Amino acid sequence: MKGVPLRIEIGSNDLADEQVCVYQRHNGAKMGIAANADLVEEIKKMLNNIQQNMFDVAKRKQDECIQVIQTWDEFVEALHQRKIILAPWCDDKVVELDVKEKTENEMGAVKILCSPFDQPKLLEGTRCFASGKPAKKWTYWGRSY
């Protein structure tokens, strides 16, 4: 049963009532649906709603784990809170290696996870959180577990 989003049961009472009993795994909801020509469409709608609900929950959890920082001190604090960090970066490989080296022992080596395709606006004068050089883009940082 693990991984099955919907379970459809048809018992003798359901047959008499011309319906099916549908159980949703993600929230435990149980409902009766008329066993007619619209049954397939109803099941499709339910599956789409389940998919959207699960996506929304996962997106919310991900967004709660991301912290935007500007300075090294904020970076270290966010790491201690086990956050994914979005930080302005100078796009310099040497700086990336320096961040990894500085964090290797006490916090577990931090690395670049990715740079978002949709870059947040980088205000003029924004500095790299690690080097103080002019920032060129926003980048996600974190530890691999």
* pTM summary value: 0.74
What pLDDT sits at residue 2? 65
Per-residue DSSP letters for 23-90? EETTT--EEEEE-STTHHHHHHHHHHHHHHHHHHHHHHHHHHHEEE--SHHHHHHHHHTT-EEEEEE-
Confidence band (pLDDT; 50, 70, 90) for 107? low
Residues present in the chain in total: 145
Q: Answer whether residue 106 shows pLDDT above 80.
A: no
What is the Cα 24 distance to its own chain's centre? 22
Rounded to 5°, angle at Cα 56 from 51 and 61: 130
d(C-alpha 89, C-alpha 118), whole Å: 15
pLDDT computed for residue 47 by the predictor: 92
User: Amino acid letter at 56?
Assistant: D
pLDDT at 117: 95
